[in-house]
Amino acid sequence: MYQAIVTDIEGTTSSLSFVKDVLFPYARRHLADFIIAHHRQDPTVEAALNDARAIAGATLDDQAVVAQLLRWIDEDRKVTPLKTLQGLIWEDGYRRGDFQGHIYDDAARALRRWHARGQRLYVYSSGSVLAQQLLFRHTAYGDLTGLFSGYFDTRIGGKREPSSYQAITEAIGIRPETIVFLSDIREELDAARAVGMATRWLVREGPVDHRASHLQARNFDELYL
């Protein structure tokens, strides 16, 4: 039995379509109004805008930095200040009841089972820690955030970089072979395995390949951890 389980979100615990068809468009529609009309003086928003300017390498006014953020959304860039702002916008959306966080029922069952068994649960996603917590707090199964011991986002590094998983291992504080990482992306699993983590590949659509480079499962009910 693994001591710790680190899970991805999109395509793993949650539907890709929820993120792509609900969350991303919502953030895009509300980005300019959220920044300019309502939260321009918020220190967290100001810091994210300054970080965005630094990454863009240009002195941009508010309208220009919003345009840059929108381009990053369209390009599906994993840029930390963008992820921070998206999380803040989604927080407003959850609070208003505009949508609910999607979690597969098999994932909710397994997460509760593993937690009850004493295994430590963590999330590692390209979405901000705030966005991760919001998704698991507002689900059809209630608030699931109490199941998790910690959250990791792109501030610890890119999801396809072995150094990120080394940092996660050090943060958790146990040997990498006692940690299993769950994802639907082979390159992420490759990076986790490179530092000694165990891996499981979620294939929610299409056939399971028993000869794949990582053990595959169709859902969490098929995972024996």
**Interval 166-177: pLDDT, tens:** 999 999 999 999
pTM listed for this prediction:
0.86
User: What does DSSP assign to residue 117?
Assistant: T
Tell me which of 96, 127, 143 is where a domain ends.
96
Quickly list H helices, the chain. Answer: 16-18, 24-32, 43-56, 62-74, 80-96, 105-116, 129-137, 162-172, 186-194
Both 53 and 131 in one domain: the answer is: no
Assign 91 to helix, strand or coil: helix
Strand partners, 123: 7, 151
Q: Which domain holds residue 144?
A: 4-15+101-222
Angstrom distance (rounded) from CA 138 to CA 113: 19
Q: Look up residue 190 and give its two tokens.
A: 């490759």
Q: Are residues 136 and 210 in the same domain?
A: yes
151 close to 42: Cβ distance less than 8 angstroms: no
Do 62 and 171 fall within a single domain?
A: no
Q: Which of 79, 96, 113 is the last residue of a domain?
A: 96
The CATH number assigned to the domain holding 130 equals: 3.40.50.1000
pLDDT band at 37; cut points 50, 70, 90: confident
Strands 216-217 and 179-183: unpaired
Is pLDDT above 80 for 56?
Answer: yes
Number of separate domains in the chain: 2
Say yes or no: 10 and 31 in one domain: no
d(CA 218, CA 144): 22
pLDDT tens, residue by residue, 97-133: 999 999 999 999 999 999 999 999 999 998 889 889 9
Q: Are residues 177 and 114 in the same domain?
A: yes
Distance in angstroms (rounded) separating the CA atoms of residues 153 and 169: 14
